[in-house]
């Protein structure tokens, strides 16, 4: 058995193998040095100065992979934190808010797993869509609670795009209805029956507040006061009416304004 050619070795064979090994080792060492040089030339000094501790390109590669995978983890955490704290801003439209949230979702997709099984992929994407709908609706202010509850009780659940379309439609409907109410009462707020009609307007205002028809909120008290000054100094009834509609639709405390602050303002506006 030991005389079989595979096991039979001579001194010449040892020398040949040694020469081949040395040749391959020199080739490997040359390539290894080149790869480490490439890493050094494409890294900042604070990074490639650490490469001196490594003997092989494989060690350098493993170090870089571990270092920058942790950076990816930090990026994922930062994006997730920003998404968690994102809330609908008073100065935004629903579309602008959705676009900002959608941008964060798109950045987070790079950290999602790759699915080889179509069934698993479909289940994951369905779960992701539900999570996105939940994040979007939860970030809306309390005055959207009614329609938010309605959307959450749908079966099947709507997509985020469908929810956005319905929210925008509802917002437009509220504004249109509110403006039509103001247009109905506006001509009666500057005449001999001013006090009578104003008392009716107060009653209507309270009912409007109970229906919670606010669609936006004003960013600050200063902005509210500025709009009130524009209303009071407007040169024509039409200009006053347009600005008042803007004001009423933007006030965070619509009920308090309509019942306490609007009557004196309208009295001032009704004067010649």
Q: What does pTM read for this prediction? A: 0.47
CB 97 within 8 A of CB 88: yes
Contacts of 148 (CB under 8 A, 6+ apart): 137, 140
Q: Is residue 225 over pLDDT 90?
A: no
Contacts of 76 (CB under 8 A, 6+ apart): 108, 111
Mean pLDDT value across residues 5-22: 66
38-70 pLDDT per residue, tens: 888 887 676 777 787 888 989 988 888 777 666
166-222 pLDDT per residue, tens: 988 877 776 666 555 555 545 544 555 545 545 545 544 444 444 333 433 333 344
Q: Which residues of 108-127 are buried (b: 16+ CB within 10 A; e: fewer)?
A: beeeeeeeeeeeeeeeeeee
> Where do the domains of the chain lie?
1-44+51-85, 171-270
Identify which of 178, 158, 156 has the alpha carbon closest to the alpha carbon of residue 166. 158
Tokens linked to 88: 């609908």
pLDDT at residue number 113: 86
Degrees, nearest 5: CA angle 56-59-62: 150
């Amino acid at each position: 058995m030991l005389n079989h050619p595979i096991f039979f070795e001579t001194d010449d064979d040892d020398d040949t193998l040694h020469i081949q090994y040395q040749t391959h080792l020199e080739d490997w060492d040359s390539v290894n040095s080149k790869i480490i040089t490439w890493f050094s030339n494409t890294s900042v000094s604070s990074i490639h100065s650490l490469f001196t501790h490594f003997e092989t390109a494989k060690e350098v590669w493993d170090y870089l992979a571990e270092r920058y995978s942790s950076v990816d983890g930090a990026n994922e955490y930062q994006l997730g934190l920003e998404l968690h704290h994102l809330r609908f801003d008073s100065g935004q439209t629903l579309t602008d808010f959705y676009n900002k949230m959608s941008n964060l979702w798109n950045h987070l997709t790079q950290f999602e797993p790759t699915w080889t099984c179509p069934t698993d992929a479909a289940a994951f994407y369905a779960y992701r869509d539900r999570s996105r709908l939940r994040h979007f609706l939860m970030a809306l202010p309390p005055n959207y609670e009614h329609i938010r509850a309605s959307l959450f009780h749908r079966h099947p659940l709507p997509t985020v795009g469908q929810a956005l379309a319905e929210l925008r439609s509802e917002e437009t409907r509220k504004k249109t209805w509110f403006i039509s109410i103001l247009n109905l009462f506006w001509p009666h707020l500057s005449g001999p029956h001013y006090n009578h009609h104003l008392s009716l307007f107060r009653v209507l205002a309270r009912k409007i507040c109970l229906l919670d028809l606010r669609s936006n909120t004003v960013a600050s008290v200063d902005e509210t006061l500025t709009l009130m000054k524009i209303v009071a100094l407007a040169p024509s009834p039409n200009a006053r009416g347009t600005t008042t509609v803007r004001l009423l639709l933007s006030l965070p405390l619509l009920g308090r304004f309509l019942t306490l602050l609007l009557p004196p303002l309208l009295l001032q506006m009704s004067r010649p």
